[in-house]
Amino acid sequence: MRKPKTIVEKIWEKHMVHQEAGKPDLLYIDLHLVHEVTSPQAFEGLRMNNRKVRQPDRTFATMDHNVPTIHRNVIKDEVSKTQMETLKANCDEFGVPLADIHHPDQGIVHVIGPELGLTQPGKTIVCGDSHTSTHGAFGALAFGIGTSEVEHVLATQTIWQQKPKTLNVKVNGKLGTGVTAKDLILAIIGKYGVRFGTGYVLEYTGEAIRDLSMEGRMTVCNMSIEAGARAGLISPDDTTVEFLRGKRHVPDGEAFDKLAEEWKDLATDEGAVYDEQVEIDANEIEPQVTWGTNPGMCIPVSANVPTPEDVQTDNDKDELKRALEYMGLEGGEPISSVAIEHVFIGSCTNSRLADLRKASEIIKGQKVNPSVTAIVVPGSHSVKTQAEKEGIDILFKEAGFEWRDAGCSMCLAMNDDVVPEGERCASTSNRNFEGRQGTGARTHLVSPEMAAAAAIKGHFVDVRHLGVATPS
């Protein structure tokens, strides 16, 4: 009998190009996703050294980080425009396929990879973007890299990597009604902190993970990096296979069925050994809201904001005080009493069709609170078009939301979608760092349903007590 292996071990072995003592392993990269912000210096490096892109067909580029989400034909910001034009010129020069701002495949890089079927189980996937961990939802080994590594992968289609340790995050039981994948991952980071995953690949297992849709799995894997892990993944199963069936970059017919069997064989074997394991109970998780300046500063919606007395060491007290001060909170107040001025539904964490559908159920027939400005930014052009076919845009617009074009938008506010200084935003994105959504802006991370509910009420509210049907 063969030795039981984790999915990480199986993928690692299949991609090993070179191994020698005292060095990391040289791994082959199946798919390299590229965007406009972290690639210009990499292409410049190739040019300076007279190097080519080794495998243009394993490389795919799009524009997402600083694209405007309104008035697309006139880009006012000259510097952003230059960055987009540079990507276009680089892709032309090096023969890399590109979905530019006007292309029907354009969207957030971590939304379009899966949508096009480029993301597949067993692949090694990199991108100059920390949220590349998203693709792990498919049982791919996917991680973010810096620009020097982008250049390295462009030139060699490989990367030097120390074999990571594995950490099994086992989620037992079932999530309650109105409790989402976003609440689950926030609760995990809230419990174990923003560095528990450093040096590990997280594999999410257990009943609650198996029950998640692919969209939910992407939300969970997306935020692995916020727990310190470069990669998080979920073993492929029938849910994975059915999501990919019929996608553009996967085969069809018998070839697909054969591939599907290979994918399912990648799943971690019974009895495989992880380096570490944590276990949590999905039944106990409530809808979550972050109160502070990193994703681990997170509490259930029914709880009060913590105070310095709640932590032990001087350094922890300092960190907590700084976070309260930045967030304009006293400490001790119920998080549900905190009024918001902005709502952002979007980002590579929560901008897929399923996210928009669920949020639209909450706001259907209601009005955005007069004190709130609310925007919906679909994750891709394709998500936007599909949502419009279903009339979801009409529901949002009638409620008073702005309905925008696809991009990263207010998640990092590189374009004009900025939260003003001192104002507060309920956001479905992934980072509540200082200044993330604008200098002095205050971010509270929540699920799409919780963001929609906050838009209507003008403050945080437990989506389960709204009296509206909350699809699970």
Tell me which residues touch another protein (CB under 8 A).
17-18, 22-24, 26, 28, 37-38, 40-41, 44, 49, 51, 54, 65-66, 77, 79-80, 82-83, 86, 128-130, 144-149, 151-152, 155-158, 160, 162, 194-195, 198-199, 225-226, 228, 230, 294, 315, 318-319, 322, 412-414, 421, 431, 433-436, 439-440
Residue number, 185 or 383, with CB nearest to another protein: 185
Closest approach, Cβ 44 to another protein, in A, equals 7
Residue number, 349 or 470, with CB nearest to another protein: 349
**Closest listed residue to residue 130, CA positions, set 139, 142, 120, 122:** 142
3-state secondary structure at position 79: helix
Closest approach, Cβ 130 to another protein, in A, equals 4
Closest approach, Cβ 15 to another protein, in A, equals 9
Closest approach, Cβ 195 to another protein, in A, equals 4
Contact (CB, 8 A) for 109 and 62: yes
Which residues lie closer than 8 Å to 66 by C-beta, 6 or more apart? 36, 37, 77, 80, 83, 84, 407, 408, 414, 415
Closest approach, Cβ 68 to another protein, in A, equals 13
Residue number, 74 or 79, with CB nearest to another protein: 79
Residue number, 28 or 256, with CB nearest to another protein: 28
Closest approach, Cβ 379 to another protein, in A, equals 18
Contact (CB, 8 A) for 305 and 330: yes
Residue number, 233 or 456, with CB nearest to another protein: 233
CA distance linking residue 147 with residue 163, whole number of Å: 21
Q: Is the dihedral of CA 81, 111, 393, 185 positive or negative?
A: negative
Sheet holding 442-445, edge to edge: 402-403, 373-376, 342-345, 424-427, 442-445
410: left (phi over 0), alpha (psi -120 to 50) or beta: alpha
Q: Is 348 annotated as a binding residue?
A: yes
Q: Is 298 annotated as a binding residue?
A: no
Residue number, 157 or 268, with CB nearest to another protein: 157
Q: In degrees to the nearest 10, what's the CA dihedral of 410, 471, 109, 171?
A: 110
Closest approach, Cβ 322 to another protein, in A, equals 8
Contact (CB, 8 A) for 223 and 215: no
Burial degree of 163 (CB within 10 A; 0-12, 13-18, 19+): middle
Strands 288-290 and 298-300 come out as antiparallel
3-state secondary structure at position 348: coil
CA distance linking residue 38 with residue 220, whole number of Å: 24
Backbone angles phi, psi at 176, to 5 degrees: -75, 170
| CA–centroid distance for 292 within its chain | 19
Residue number, 9 or 434, with CB nearest to another protein: 434
Residue number, 129 or 405, with CB nearest to another protein: 129
Token code pair at residue 289 = 């809201």
Q: Is 408 annotated as a binding residue?
A: yes
Token code pair at residue 240 = 């994975």
Residue number, 44 or 237, with CB nearest to another protein: 44
Token code pair at residue 32 = 């390299």
Instruction: Report CA Rg, the chain.
Output: 22
Residue type, 367: K
Token code pair at residue 445 = 């991370």
In Å, what is the CA distance from 340 to each residue of 31, 375, 419?
Answer: 40, 13, 11
Closest approach, Cβ 440 to another protein, in A, equals 6
Closest approach, Cβ 28 to another protein, in A, equals 6
Binding residues: 348, 408, 411
Q: Which residues are annotated as a binding site for [4Fe-4S] cluster?
A: 348, 408, 411
